[in-house]
Every structure is written in C-alpha cells, then in structure tokens.
Structure 1
C-alpha cells in the first residue's frame, strides 16, 4: 500500500542519492540532490506499508521507475531488529584494517545472533578526547541475511548500493546539518515502544542509548500539556520524569566519561507524537540545555512538502542519503557484493559467478578430452591384442604344417620356445591392462579413503607403471594395520593385488610401530608370499 508521494521531473545531476529507511511495518524512499554548502533537495519521496520482503522489492521498483532513478547510488537505514549497536573498548595495537576481525570476539556474548556471519562496522570515538582508561568505539553488528537480501532488492530495482546505515548514524547525519554548538548536541527520536538518544560533537558519535520510553507515555504527557494552563506545570514534568531521568543521566555520562563541556542543545526529531506542546516543560526541566524541534524543512528543501505524519520515516531515509564520513560507509555491505574499485552492484558478483562457470566449463572440456584419449589408448591395446592372437594362430598353423618334417625332440623344443614367447607376450599385455585399469590417480584415491585414526603413511612408491607398490607408515596400535589392509582390499584398484612383503618394527626415537608392505613384480624374489 502506497501512503504518500511527491514527485519532480528532475532525476539527474551531481551529488544524487536515494535514501531508504526500512522499519518493521513500512519502507520509505527519498531522492536527494545536492549537498555540501547548499541544502540537500528532496525531489521525490514515497512511503509504503509492507508485510513481506516482496513488498519492499515492489515499492523500490515502483519508486525508481516512476521517478527515472535508474543507476542512482542508494544508502539504506536498517530496521532496528536487524542490527545491534554496542560501545566497547578499542583493542590496543590493532591496525585499522584488522580492527573489524579483531572485534568479533569482543562482542560474541553481546549480541543475540551469529557474530561470525554478521556484517560489522566501526564508529570510532576520538582518542584524544577520551578520559577513559582505554579508547572506546561503537561496533555495529548487522544480520547477514537481511542485509544481503536488501542489497539484492536495491540492485534489482536498478539502483547502485553504496552502503548501509543504522538509526543512530542516520540521526548523527541529521544532527550535522544543524549549526554547530559549543559542547556538543543531543538528538532524541521517540518511537512506538522505545526511543533513541544520541550525543555527538564535531560529527563524532559519543553516546547512543535506547530509552525505555514509549510513544504512548509521551503522548499522555503532551495531552496533559495541552489541557494545563501552564504547559510546564509540575503535572506535565512528573509525566516526563522517566524521559528526563534518562536524558540527564546520559548528559552526565557524556561530561564525566569524555571530559566534554556540557551539551548545549537537544533536538527533537519528528515522531508519531506531536512534541511541540512539551517544549516548555522540557526546557524548564533541562535548563540551561536548549530544547528545540528539528525543523526538517529548514535543513532540507522540498519540491512539495510532505505531510507531518510522513516526516519520521522520511527523516531516517534522508539521514541515510546525506550520511558522509560520520556514517558507516560501505562497511556493512556484504563482502561478496562490495566493489574492489569503482561502482557497486550485483554485476560484480555475477561476473565472479560467470568466471567460475567458465573455469568449470574448461575443466569439463579437458576431462572429456582426456577420457576420449584414454578410450583411444584402450582401443589400440585391443587392436594389439587381436594382432598378437592372430600371430599366435599363424604360428600354430605353421607348426602343424611342419610337424611331419620335424623330429619329436626338435618339435618339443620348438613348442617350448613358442610357449615362452606366447607367455611373454601375454604378460606384456596384462601389464598394459593393469596400468590402464589402475592409474596412479585411482591408486592414490583408494589410499586417501583409508582414513584410520592412529595410522599415517610416510612413504608411497609406485614402480613398473603402478604394478609394484610399496607403502611405509606408522601405527599407534598394531591391530590397526590389518584393518588398513582390509580397507585397501575393498578398493577396486587394489582388489587384484597381493602384498608379498610385510615388515613391522618398533623404534625408540618415534612413537608407534613402523610398518612396510609391498607387492613384487612377476619374476622378482623367490615366488613365495612374505606376510
């Protein structure tokens, strides 16, 4: 369901960004042009209710198509349920490029999802202004799956993902649009079930807290302020006590922990609750702190001003759009989608996938070529076998024809010589067949599958084209060696081989028993099995 929309015919230019804010029940888009000294201009915006990721995809596609935003960079503020923000001590002697990996173990017990797959970003607190015993830093841990899914939807809509922000960094970006003040600035955003308070100075985040203050309780106080003759009466302040206590504790921590001058401003971001009636009570209770509403139209220009009920979500989307160095950059973008240089998009991932597919295709082609070559060699061996068989038959025929002219003793000698020739030829053929059937790769594969704990091989030797095999190794238990041999006997490449040598000995300098097993080529040794 689309709620509101304003549209301009302008859709190109320098410093253009699409800001996106994802909340549990809605998604909001803004198209922002210009930055730096000039006010950013919101040329188009839209907010839509969502029930599923498919709603986010369709809303993004519609916003891009209707406003001709194809190819624009986009930054998104993540939903609070998809990330966790923690303040931790910065590890010492860790380079900046290794800080993210070194931080994972620090927050392992601080977040409720898998830290190994999480996307991490660092928001550093300036070292020279910290009076804590060790420097501090904020760690943003975002769930990998929602971030990756959102990046894919943004890319599919025709935008280029340039990074992700969180609510706190978006609030920091909005704060930096305001005039600088001495001592720092606080920003408060009232939510339905909880609220967020940030404290910053010179575009650096020093404090971020989630307050247990609901929009309903603040709405009760605002209604009381409207009904009272004095909007700063004790009745109104009493209703604001939980909020005032959290704000004052945060201000005190900021001053004492970081040695900063007292914050001089508290800006109230737009929320579902109208906060204007509470300004007198907040100013009175937090004196001398200056309390004011964040005037969105003062820091952002609109082609068409949005209704007030749209401003809370538009503010988060605009904060992501203008987030610069104070944001988290592209640190939360999944590494598989992060560009090495230049622009960003899923095209990089598609290129990687295409390269992998090409390599697999080349490997498959080489495999088929080798298989065809081996088939040709087998066919040649069959032809040789047929030729040798024909030659043997010819010799038999010649011997029979000459039988009448040969004396018995000479015939016997001739037959014996002929038999020796035939046996020699058959052995040669058998050796060729064995070498083809059990190549080195199949023999090694068979050995690799004998994964017995406590048995390891130290030397493997093949000779005579793989006909003779020698294996040397060690075993912690003598009983494991027979198990190793039985496993080899079940391998197809070893099932017709017989090990004719077996040696086992214990040595003092190394653990376990040393063993050696080997086959012998035909004609080697004395023909007896050695086991």
Structure 2
C-alpha cells in the first residue's frame, strides 16, 4: 500500500506499508493499515492475481447494449464463479484482417469479495475511485512506441507475469504457471532448467502473438523481477535473441529499499502513475478543445 502525491510532472511516494496475512484473514490487517493512512483524495484498489481470473473470448456479434449480457453467459462455462457473483470488465485485443473474429480479454472477479473490500474502505471514510487488476499495470513504466514491447514481472509467491504492450494498448497477457519463488533461486538453480523453462514459455507466447495474432515481431523486453539476479536473467534473454533487454528501475521512487521490496511496491505505484497519466491526457484534450 502506498500514498502517491503529484509533484510537478511526476509522482512521489509519501507513505508505504506492506500487509502480511494468510488465506482470507485480510480484513483486520487492512483495517489497521487504513487507520495509519494520511489524508488522501482518492483510492485506487489493485487486485492481486488470486482475486481475479483472465479469459480470452471471441467478441459476440450483438449490439453494444447487449454485449455485457452476452459475455456474462459465455463466462458461465469458463470461470469458477457463480453467474450472479461475477463482476467483470474487458479490453479489445489487437486484430488483423486475417482474423475472422475480434477477440476480447476479460478480467473477472467475485462481486461479493469486491463488496467486502469496498465496505472496509467505506468504514474508514475512504471511497474507492478505481479498481484495477495487477496484470496490466506495468505498462505505466513502458515507453510508448509503435513496436511491441514484452514485459516480464514477478513478485514473491506469484507466478511470472508476461505482457505485450504496443503504444498504450495491452495486446497480450498471461501468467506462466509453476515458476514461483523466483526471488529465492540461486544462479545455479536458474541455470539448471528454470531459465530454459521460462525462455520456452516466453518464446511460445511470442510465436503465438506474431504467428496466430499476425502482429509485429517482438524484439524489446523489459524486466521487473524481484530477483537480485536480474542482470544474469537479462543476459539469458539477449542470448535468446531479443535485440533490446532492459531492467525497469524503481530506485528514483524507492531509493532506500532493496530490489525485492522495490518491485513489491512498484505495482501500486504503477496504478497511481497510470491514473496520473490518464488525467494528464484528459487535461491536454480539454486544453486543446
């Protein structure tokens, strides 16, 4: 949890806390942390991956007014939530003229869970303005360019997350399952199969993006991993064929934290930065009109 403040044209972190809990025992810890918060103007709630599911579907051929209803019935067969407990949103995936149907990526969460979270904030006189999935947030740190950029991120206890961004659009995302505890691995452990497995999964996804989705080649890779061995991992991906591999640097915002903790707090920072960038774009449009 962080509090971010706009300072001229950047965002500065003025408060941060980390919560630890097991299973569903989060409400008491959250309540204690919320009481420590300084005065804030708005709250952005970021959902961790275990609190939502990602699904890709063909876009139903229905009028826009009926789209969400049609998607809800499609999701009934694809996610583990009950129909009346689904809360979801979606984004358009890039398409080419070779594709017969437009594809959508949906993020689905439990309405009951979200209501519990919102209630916890309301009880502390805080209103949530935005709810976001963690999956797509790191795009706030990615340079905007016409060519696709692949982002690999990892936080303790989670699977490796992979995302392809072009311009301001998330074009592809997935979790690479079974590759948890990256931050605990030694260089020997990485070299004894872990990196080969990671590289294979990345290459499969890139092949799908370029071949099946008919998109431009991916030659640029960004890393945001909570591992002290990021430099060695970067070398591996350069040898795998990526023309440019860079490590995202969060030190300007968290100069007093070690790398592992920087990546942990970078997720809410990305949410704050993404909202700030959106606000700046809206201001620009208003000034131009």
TM > 0.5 between the two?
yes
Alignment partner of 2:150 out of 186, 189, 209: 186
* Per-residue CA distance 1:440-468 (angstroms, 9 max, x = gap): xxxxxxxxxxxxxxxxxxxxxxxxxxxxx
d(CA) in 1 for partners of 2:12, 2:277: 20
RMSD across aligned C-alpha pairs, in angstroms?
Answer: 2.7
Q: Give the SS at the match of 2:245.
A: strand
- 1:111 equivalent to 2:65? Answer no
Alignment partner of 2:134 out of 157, 160, 167: 167
Alignment partner of 2:225 out of 258, 261, 270: 270
Aligned to 2:267: 316
- Residue correspondence of structure 1 range 87-236 to structure 2 within 5 A: 87-95=56-64, 97-126=65-94, 129=96, 131-170=98-137, 174-191=138-155, 192=157, 194-216=159-181, 219-220=184-185, 222-224=186-188, 236=191
Q: Give the SS at the match of 1:296.
A: coil
d(CA) in 2 for partners of 1:47, 1:310: 9
d(CA) in 1 for partners of 2:277, 2:61: 23
Give the structure with higher Rg (CA): 1
d(CA) in 2 for partners of 1:147, 1:131: 39
The change in CA–CA distance for 1:289 and 1:109 in structure 2 (over 3 A counts) is: farther
d(CA) in 2 for partners of 1:326, 1:131: 34
Bigger relative contact order, structure 1 or 2, given CA contacts below 8 A and separation 6+? 2
- Residue correspondence of structure 1 range 411-450 to structure 2 within 5 A: none
- 1:297 equivalent to 2:251? Answer yes
d(CA) in 1 for partners of 2:118, 2:145: 36
Q: Unaligned stretches of 5+ in structure 2?
A: 279-289
Q: Give the SS at the match of 1:159.
A: coil
d(CA) in 2 for partners of 1:326, 1:124: 20
Contact residue 92 and residue 103 of structure 2 kept, 8 A: yes
Aligned to 1:34: 6
The change in CA–CA distance for 1:326 and 1:107 in structure 2 (over 3 A counts) is: farther
- 1:56 equivalent to 2:25? Answer no
- Residue correspondence of structure 1 range 230-379 to structure 2 within 5 A: 236=191, 238-271=193-226, 274-285=229-240, 287-297=241-251, 301=253, 305-324=256-275
The change in CA–CA distance for 1:89 and 1:266 in structure 2 (over 3 A counts) is: same
Normalising by structure 2, report the TM-score.
Answer: 0.84
d(CA) in 2 for partners of 1:108, 1:325: 35
Contact residue 161 and residue 174 of structure 2 kept, 8 A: yes
Contact residue 124 and residue 137 of structure 1 kept, 8 A: yes
Contact residue 228 and residue 260 of structure 2 kept, 8 A: no
Task: Give 1:306 deviation, angstroms.
Answer: 3.0
Task: Give 1:180 deviation, angstroms.
Answer: 2.7
The change in CA–CA distance for 1:90 and 1:132 in structure 2 (over 3 A counts) is: same
The change in CA–CA distance for 1:183 and 1:189 in structure 2 (over 3 A counts) is: same
Normalising by structure 1, report the TM-score.
Answer: 0.48
Contact residue 100 and residue 122 of structure 1 kept, 8 A: no
Q: Give the SS at the match of 2:104.
A: strand
d(CA) in 2 for partners of 1:124, 1:182: 17
Q: Give the SS at the match of 2:261.
A: helix
